[in-house]
Amino acid sequence: MCTAAVLAAPCALAQSSDAYQLGQITRTQFNVPELPIYVTSENAEVLAAARRAFEVHGAFKLATQAQAKYSLALTPDVGGMHLKLTGGAAPLSTNVQGPDLRRSALRACDKAVSHILGIPGFFDSKIAYVSDLSGNREIYAGDLLFNNVRRLTSDKSNSLYPRWSPDGAKLLYTGYFNTGFPDIFLLDFASSKRSTVASYKGTNTGAVFSPNGHYVAMALSSSGNPEIYIAGHDGKNPKRLTRTKALESSPVFSPDSSRLCFVNDSAGGPQLYEMNIDGSNMRRITRGVSGHCTEPAWNPKRPNLIAFTAAYGRGFQIALLDNSTGTAQALTAGPGDGIEACWLNDGRHVVYTQRQGKQSKLRIFDTLSGRSADLHSARVGNTSQADALYQGGQ
């Protein structure tokens, strides 16, 4: 998959090339203490879900009742969960609703996180991703902590880059099954029925919904080289936005859906650019950061922040660009490569792919504390290219 997609995903050729290593990007220094929390429930399923959630958050550490600053008690109630949070400046006692016991527990934990930190929780998210568990790269989905996982595609070929619609009812993805070349498809989440969005001559990749659900952006090479296009919510009749001799890829929308960030290699290596959704005011936004900047992900809460994949050392790591100052710092630190960042709804955490040789897995990273955790075991295969969507309606 290392053709024009080298702009979208670092490949073995780029990984071994010193030409991409500028070495100017610096490493973020983290010094955020963990908050000790005691979690209790008489229901074993609820307790296991809650403890696992706080284990991966990065701001908390599980503690005994005597050692904890906060104590969270969860009790199943009719149609939901009662939570009692003590410690800190103000206690909290309330009920939350959920479609089942586990999700009610996760929503209750989200409520506790929001009360303590003043930002949304993310535990009741669902995730779509790529796995090779079947022997082919197919698309799967489940909750963020990898329960209730099911396979969505059975294309028996490369099915890549799943991206949720804002309402979670559909997914866009790039598939090779029909022609052997990359085409863009729309997948209904409930039924797994598929329809074709873009099957033009050349490559059709990188489709993504705007946060307001009104648009779809994608990279198409029907004009000769890959250019950025935009279409309505159904992806039909795309309008060309860029007209350059460069390779362009990986469009993502700003949180207010008014701008696009994308990758362009006209500077001699892939760099991040942005423009308005009508194609105006195009400008380069990474300079002197790294010779290889790809896979942008726009922070949903802080529009000045964009996570991306940067060449760092002799590999790749997730970095964070402050678009208001043009400065960037590396976040992840290995082992192996950190690539393919996806923001969670709190604007603090990213899910990313950790790649070591031929092995890959999804991890969660706290951009404030620097702590990270695996999201799954090896039983789900090699995973990559995650996209997450919050379901709890905070």
pLDDT at 10: 55
Same domain, 184 and 238: yes
Same domain, 66 and 142: no
| Rounded Cα gap, residues 22 and 82, in angstroms | 53
Q: Using the 3D structure, point to which of 117, 136, 160 is the last residue of a domain.
A: 117
Same domain, 322 and 183: yes
> What is the domain count for the chain?
2
Q: Using the 3D structure, point to which of 86, 117, 148 is the last residue of a domain.
A: 117
pLDDT at 9: 52
pLDDT at 24: 65
Residue-number span of the structural domain to which 97 is assigned: 35-117
Same domain, 183 and 296: yes
Q: Using the 3D structure, point to which of 117, 132, 167 is the last residue of a domain.
A: 117
Same domain, 112 and 196: no
Same domain, 240 and 358: yes
Same domain, 131 and 88: no
CA angle 210/308/357 to nearest 5° reads: 120
Nearest to 172 by CA among 238, 121, 244: 238
pLDDT in tens, the chain (394 residues): 344 443 455 543 333 333 344 446 788 889 899 999 999 999 999 999 999 999 999 999 999 999 999 999 999 999 899 999 999 888 999 999 999 999 999 999 999 999 999 999 999 999 999 999 999 999 999 999 999 999 999 999 999 999 999 999 999 999 998 788 999 999 999 999 999 999 999 999 999 999 999 999 999 999 889 999 999 999 999 999 999 999 999 999 999 999 999 999 999 999 999 999 999 999 999 998 999 999 999 999 999 999 999 998 889 999 999 999 999 999 999 789 999 999 999 999 999 999 999 999 999 999 999 999 999 999 999 999 999 999 987 5
| Rounded Cα gap, residues 203 and 184, in angstroms | 9
List the CATH number of the domain containing 162. Answer: 2.120.10.30
List the CATH number of the domain containing 99. Answer: 3.30.160.150
Same domain, 84 and 232: no
Same domain, 16 and 43: no
Same domain, 110 and 194: no
Same domain, 197 and 325: yes
For the chain, what's the residue count? 394
Same domain, 149 and 62: no
Q: CB-based burial of residue 247 (10 Å sphere; 0-12 exposed, 13-18 middle, 19+ buried)?
A: buried
